[in-house]
Chain A
Amino acid sequence: MHVSLDGFVAGPNGEIDWIFLDDEMFEDVHDLVSKADTALFGRVTYHIMEDYWPTAANRPGATKHDREHSSWLSLASKIVFSRTLKKVNWHYTRIVNGRVSEEIAELKKQPGKNLILFASPGLASTFMNLNLIDEYWFNVNPILLGEGIPLFKNLSDMRTLKLLDSKTYKQGVVNLHYGRTDS
């Protein structure tokens, strides 16, 4: 997840144009997704992804990252957690309404690679409350937005994490990689 120094994942109207990106970061994302085969989204993030990625590789000026990520997402199993969404247009996509813990427990039992939750701050908070997250990857951007959509909200209690690794990118983004403390 990309997050501002003051803890926002997007501006007040969903703006994400402030995020610092570079090629090294894209390579790391590529490594991360290559160990996964399932993408998890909340409804809002899913719509942004569905609008962008299916055609991203074919746009003029598409980068290596656009092609690689588009290809990975296209083949990945995609799950949207939503109580309101009725229909999706992207292949290999299914909607899950409620029963979050049970669904994840079921998915983790099946053979396969990792599951990655992309952006989706509301869903991430739900996952956190249900103690479903094994690892966290935050890219802390060197910017104060002042207002916006917070990374975490409505958390039921405090949670201690374990720092596994950190890394600094060229433009001053710091990647913080955490795991569980109880594992």
Chain B
Amino acid sequence: MVGRIRDMRKIIVSEFVSLDGVVEDPGGAEKFKHGGWSFKFRDDQVPKYKLDEVFASDGLLLGRVTYEGFAKAWPSVKDDVGFADKMNSMPKYVVSTTLEKLDWNNSRLIKANVAEEVKRLKQQPGKDILVYGSGKLVNTLLRHDLVDELRLMVHPVVLGSGKRLFADPAETMKVLKLAESRTFPSGIVLLSYRAAK
């Protein structure tokens, strides 16, 4: 790679989403009435995809609610493939105005100027930065055109209630460019988008 100009790190938003756009509590850590809904759909290809995804990145950018769920669950998770180790060891950037102290390993706080801080992160050397969950943060990132890729794992379920990913009215319509679509044996469809140029 000598002589090649380094690409900027990408911000990749990767979400488990229901067919009606709900992103609340797919893993069941947040006491939502349909919490854990993603576990109804299992196949061996989705975990492989998620494993490749997490190993292609070296940072997690999270909002408070998602951080708190993850920080409670992940430290005690063990697996053979290294997913939990990666989650626990990689740097976490947590956006919150109320949290004072972060207990999860390798976490640091972003208290203000989110857009500026995220731009700074993108300029640092490293692999891509993943955003999981974090609905409110995702809307902030979208408003500031800071999302390089939006990956939706659309689950074949209509929940009818719960927090939706795109909750904040956008200031203007945003057209995206479909980068990839792919179906998994469980009926989950990956829809991957980039900002339209």
**Which A residues contact B (CB, under 8 angstroms)?**
5-7, 18, 128, 138, 140, 142-147, 150-152, 154-163, 166, 168, 172-174, 176, 178
Contacts and interface: CB of A to CB of B under 8 A. Distances in A.
Interface in B136-172: 142, 152, 154, 156-161, 164-166, 168-172
A156 B159 CA distance: 9
Interface centre among A6, A146, A166, A174 (most CB of B within 10 A): A146
A146 B154 contact: no
B161 A155 contact: yes
B20 A166 contact: no
B156 A146 contact: no
Given A6-B166, A151-B20, A168 B156 contact: no
A174 B178 contact: yes
A144 B174 contact: yes
A168 B178 contact: yes
A155 B21 CA distance: 14
Contact of A172 (B37, B178, B188): B178
Interface in B1-50: 19-21, 34, 37, 40
A123 to B, nearest CB: 15
Contacts of B187: 161-163, 178
Contacts of A159: 157-158, 160
Contacts of B105: none
Q: How large is the interface on B (under 10, 10 to 19, 20 to 34, 35 or more residues)?
A: 35 or more
Given A7-B166, A140-B191, A176-B189, 7 more contacts: A145-B170, A152-B160, A158-B34, A158-B159, A160-B156, A172-B178, A178-B19
B193 A5 contact: yes
Contacts of A162: 156, 187
For the complex of A and B, the 6 pairs showing the least CB-CB separation, nearest first, are: A155-B160, A146-B170, A172-B178, A163-B187, A6-B166, A7-B21
A144 B166 contact: yes
Contacts, number: 102
6 contacts: A6-B21, A144-B142, A144-B176, A155-B159, A161-B156, A168-B181
Interface of B: 19-21, 34, 37, 40, 142, 152, 154, 156-161, 164-166, 168-178, 181, 183, 187-189, 191, 193, 196
Contacts of A151: 20
Contact of A146 (B21, B171, B177): B171
B178 A166 contact: no
Contact of A145 (B173, B177, B183): B173
B189 A163 contact: yes
B153 to A, nearest CB: 12
A152 B160 CA distance: 7
B157 A161 contact: yes
B173 A142 contact: no
Nearest to B18: A158
A128 B165 CA distance: 22
Contacts of B152: 5
Nearest to A163: B187
A158 B189 CA distance: 18
Contacts of A155: 20, 158-161
Given A144-B170, A155-B161, A161 B19 contact: yes
Given A152-B20, A163-B189, A174-B178, A158 B158 contact: yes
